[in-house]
Amino acid sequence: MDILSCARAFVAVAHRQSFSAASHDERTTQPVVSRRVAALEVHLGGALLERSTRQVSLTPFGAAILGHAQAVLTAERALLDAAESHRRGTVRLLVPPDHDPALWAALRLRALGAGTDLQIEENDRERRSLRFRLGEADAAILPVETARADWVVPLGLAQATDRTRPLTLAALRPTRAMLPHEAWRITVLAEDASDQLLTLLQESAAESGLAAHQVYESPSVVSALTGALAGEDWVLCTQEQATAWRLQWFEVRGLRVARAYRLESGSTDFRKLFGTILGREIAVALGGAMRGQS
């Protein structure tokens, strides 16, 4: 049995709720789609679709299986894409999210000029690490300790504010007249929410007299920006991100925190490409600098 064809027929019928519509999408006949679904049901040991009504619907077993069938097709697509990329000589690079896409586009143009078709994909910190370990990319920009970093990106606090004076953590201490929810909060984006950075920030905040609840990880960039644009919270970010988000950025006195990134790749050729040819462009896109350069 061709399980991929059968899974594709099942998913098509489930989405279209019709064998005839699914056969049109699959560019085959309705009897062929019916036979493929029936073969999958026999193979899996249960009915996937309820056919007793004019509109086809999923059985409980089918509803439980549908996501797995879709995952099989997604994996097939990823396999074909990877093969096509390698045939074309494409290099797949995973990068951090929430940066100016025009800067990544400029990096891709620079790579094309160097003879490399660079495919750039944004993923969060954990997803980049997982996908690279699974072999779904040729290279990835991953967070590391500063001593091992290729690029270091200084972080500061940003808010929609008219403040011009330098900023210290002590300036964010709550006053006695403030209720707990009125105190300024420092929001940390998911990209920076490592245990090490959070601990450093929380310890520094405590030493400056801030309450524990004033430092927290934001559930999303939108949530963090909502508070920062309202002038209620400060978001930890790069200067370039603050500019893009229309926020005033401050380097915080007495607090030195940064993102540290390293290019991880199984190929020395890729490290040479990204380090010597594209290293400066990557630094610009990340909002930082290459190690050993100002």
Report the 10 Å Cβ neighbour count for 27: 6
d(CA 77, CA 67): 15
Quick check: 107 and 285 in contact, CB under 8 A? yes
Residues 154-193 pLDDT 10s = 999 999 999 999 999 999 887 765 655 567 899 999 999 8
User: What are the two backbone dihedrals, phi and then psi, of residue 234, each rounded to the nearest 5 degrees?
Assistant: -115, 135
Query: Which residues, 6 or more positions from 9, have their beta carbon under 8 angstroms from its beta carbon?
Result: 22, 26, 32, 33, 36, 37, 40
3-state secondary structure of 49: strand
What is the model's pLDDT at position 278?
87
Low-confidence stretches of the chain (pLDDT beneath 70): 53, 82, 84-89, 176-182, 291-294
Beta bridge partners of 197: none
- What predicted TM-score, i.e. pTM, was given to this entire model? 0.66
pLDDT at position 294: 42
- The tokens for 115 are 């003879």
